Amino acid sequence: MNSWTRNLGYVLKENPLTLVAFILFLVLLICAVFGPLVAPYDPLATEAARQLEPPSFAHPFGTDHLGRDILSRVIVATRLDLGIAVSAVILSFVLGTTLGSAAGYFGGWTDRLVGRLVDTIMAFPLFVLAMGIVAALGNTGWNIIYATAIINLPFYIRFARAEINVRREAGYVEAARLAGNGSARILGYHLIPNILPPMMVQFSLNMGWAILNAAGLSFIGLGVRPPTPEWGIMVSEGANYIISGEWWVFLFPGLALVVAVFCFNLLGDGLRDIIDPRQRT
């Protein structure tokens, strides 16, 4: 059994919340991959005779104002919400790590240009900036991904810049230079791989924020369009029925959002403990 496996076993044993996070992540993954197969009903099928039925054995999460099964819609929506979040975070992770690493390694005008880009993005409230981008480009899935990726860029740029700036004069980097390696090879083979573990923790934490951002855009009408199953849309539609007492229409999609964000936040803490054994103390 290698050191990483021992650390994983130790963390899961000592921190039950991390184990819960891994279980929740597995459930979300199953729903995202096999959602249409495990959903008990067609998420788009309407049935006028079953409008706004409360939770029952036939419909555990109840039905909405069009008679659609809420459980099926929540399950199928997992693929879309996680797909948008994963795509956006991967895009911002790759681009932000590249820009931040170049700024930290080369300094000078590269650092200044990247710094101005970060300052420009951070000058706006991030969700408002995402709203403006989607409103300007159109509320399609890809535009939501681009907007979410842009507002996540500063996290990775700043993190990568700081980590590379600390390591660029390290002994193994000097040895690589003396061996005749160019800057691109030093960054790609020596520096960036050494900052990936803590960056992966940030990746997990940003997943929760990306899910909330995508759902928030849908909630205000700038995200995915109905009748597509999506958590933010379902919460927005259910909010209209709070006063009349149909609480299940918004509650269960909202709980799905809470569980997903909770899962990725706990997963980030668990990854930090697994990657850095010093955190265990």
pLDDT digits (tens, 9 = 90+) for 227-272: 889 999 999 989 888 888 889 999 999 999 999 998 888 887 777 6
**Domain-embedded: residue 191:** no
pLDDT digits (tens, 9 = 90+) for 96-141: 999 999 999 998 899 999 999 999 999 989 899 999 999 998 888 8
2: pLDDT strictly greater than 60: no
Average pLDDT, whole number, for the chain?
A: 86
160: pLDDT strictly greater than 80: yes
pLDDT digits (tens, 9 = 90+) for 142-158: 999 999 999 999 999 99
Which backbone phi and psi does 185 adopt, to 5 degrees? Answer: -70, -40
Peptide bond into 55 cis (omega under 30): no
The predicted pLDDT at position 1 comes to 47
At residue 124, the 3 state secondary structure works out as: coil
Q: Please check whether residue 104 is in contact with residue 111, taking contact to mean a CB–CB distance below 8 angstroms.
A: yes
**Domain-embedded: residue 230:** yes
Query: Which is nearest to 130 in space by CA: 224, 205, 213, 55?
Result: 213
User: pLDDT grade, residue 13 (50/70/90)?
Assistant: low
DSSP readout, 29-90? HHHHHHHHHH-SS-TT---GGGTTPPS-SSSTT-B-TT--BHHHHHHHHHHHHHHHHHHHHH
pLDDT digits (tens, 9 = 90+) for 26-37: 999 999 999 889
CA angle 134, 42, 59 (to 5 degrees): 105
192: pLDDT strictly greater than 80: yes
At residue 12, the 3 state secondary structure works out as: helix
Q: Please check whether residue 144 is in contact with residue 84, taking contact to mean a CB–CB distance below 8 angstroms.
A: yes
| Number of domains within the chain | 1
Q: 183: Cβ–Cβ under 8 A, 6 or more apart, which residues?
A: 105, 106
176: pLDDT strictly greater than 60: yes
3: pLDDT strictly greater than 60: no
**Domain-embedded: residue 48:** no
At residue 195, the 3 state secondary structure works out as: helix
Q: Please check whether residue 64 is in contact with residue 41, taking contact to mean a CB–CB distance below 8 angstroms.
A: no
**Domain-embedded: residue 173:** no
Distance (Å, whole) CA 40 – CA 35:
10
**Region of poorest pLDDT, from 8-17, 205-214, 220-229:** 8-17
**Domain-embedded: residue 234:** yes
Peptide bond into 227 cis (omega under 30): yes
**Domain-embedded: residue 176:** no
pTM of the model: 0.86
Domain of residue 66: give its range.
3-41+61-161+196-280
User: pLDDT grade, residue 7 (50/70/90)?
Assistant: low
**Domain-embedded: residue 272:** yes
Distance (Å, whole) CA 16 – CA 107:
43
| Tokens linked to 85 | 């979040």
**Domain-embedded: residue 112:** yes
The predicted pLDDT at position 280 comes to 47
Which backbone phi and psi does 139 adopt, to 5 degrees? Answer: -90, 70
40: pLDDT strictly greater than 80: yes
CATH number at residue 122: 1.10.3720
Q: 153: Cβ–Cβ under 8 A, 6 or more apart, which residues?
A: 92, 95, 96, 99, 117, 118, 121
